[in-house]
Amino acid sequence: MNEERDDPRALQAACRVWRHWEDGTVMDALPPDCRPVDRAAGYAAQAALAQVGGRSSLGWKIAATSRAGQAHIAVDGPLAGRLLEGRVHGDGATLSLRGNRMRVAEPEFVFRLGRTLPPRESPYGVEEVLDAVEALHVGLEVPDSRFADFTRAGEAQLLADNACAGQFVLGPAAAADWRALDLAAHRAIGRVRRADGSTWQREGLGANVLDDPRLALAWLANELSGLGLELAAGEVVTTGTCMPPLEIAPGDAVEADFGVLGRVTLRFAAD
């Protein structure tokens, strides 16, 4: 698949997804006349989202990188989605949960590319992909879906839905030598402080991300290559939650603490 944007079915699907995303509303399913029937059609509809919304793509997210996550949305493997301009925020951002039905935050390992990986016939190896990385960041994703029951929407529609992308908060680049660390064994703590002042936390592990966040990054490079797309220098890739998602509510503050790799925080408006 390339980035052609004149497929009327894909454009129609993207228009519907974007309208629901902007309005904070949901649908049961895309209409039959534009509903994607397979993975390729789902990605084609996703590719049209940036055009429909007038937004640049700043990078990529990977959904369903844990077995539990795949089972939850009834898919057999990971899904790639786009991080769109206006939905990506800096550390400490205050976000609104208005219209968000998932109500979770996900601590994630994030890679920034320093060199472009173009599409090609042969697959990329993990070390080759890592050589193209400029920096490791930590991040918090606040996913959402435009389907009333996203657990039953199916792979193709979820891809059209931008792999349940919502908002994303990008933390600072790690100061530590992350290349010397075993990211699969690296632990993270997600903390939620409620509006009433109470706090709770949950632990995660890099191995929860496709067995290793570096493997997830390589998966994305090859997924995009198979679609005829490049993973471009300057883009960021957030690799999926490293722990069960953190349940959140308006007024909460969230912190993802990755130890020597850094911390990232966000706050939700009381709405």
Task: Decide if 173 contacts 137 (C-beta within 8 A).
Answer: yes
Alpha carbon 3 to its chain centroid, in Å, reads 20
Predicted confidence at residue 200, as pLDDT, reads 98
Q: How many residues does the chain have?
A: 271
Global confidence as pTM:
0.96
Find how far residue 142's CA is from the centre of its chain.
Answer: 9
pLDDT of residue 271: 81
Sign (positive/negative) of CA torsion 176, 178, 183, 185? negative
d(CA 217, CA 200): 30
* pLDDT number for residue 249: 97
Q: What DSSP line would sit under 134-157, residue for residue? A: EEEEEEEEE---SBTTGGGS-HHH
Per residue in 179-237, pLDDT tens? 999 999 999 999 999 999 999 999 999 999 999 999 999 999 999 999 999 999 999 99
Q: Which of 106, 136, 63 is nearest to 242 (CA)?
A: 106
Specify the amino acid at residue 172. P
| Average pLDDT across the chain, whole number | 96
Q: In whole angstroms, what is the distance from residue 228 CA to residue 270 CA? A: 43
Q: How many CA atoms lie within 13 A of 184 on its CB side?
A: 7
Q: Which residues of the chain have pLDDT under 50?
A: 1-4
**Burial of 251 (C-beta count, 10 Å sphere; 0-12/13-18/19+):** middle
Structure tokens at 203: 């632990």
So what's the pLDDT on residue 131?
98
The pair phi, psi for residue 218, each rounded to 5°, is -65, -40
**Per-residue burial over 212-234, b = 16 or more CB atoms within 10 Å of its CB, e = otherwise:** bbbbbbbbbbbbbbebebbbeee
Whole-Å CA distances, 29 to 73, 82, 166, 185: 15, 21, 18, 39
Sequence spans of domains, the chain: 56-268
- In this structure, the strands spanning 167-173 and 187-193 are unpaired
Question: What phi and psi, each to the nearest 5 degrees, are found at residue 156?
Answer: -65, -45
Answer for the pair 68, 241: CB distance below 8 angstroms, yes or no: no
Four-way CATH pick for 56-268: 3.90.850.10, 3.40.30.10, 3.30.70.1450, 3.30.420.40: 3.90.850.10
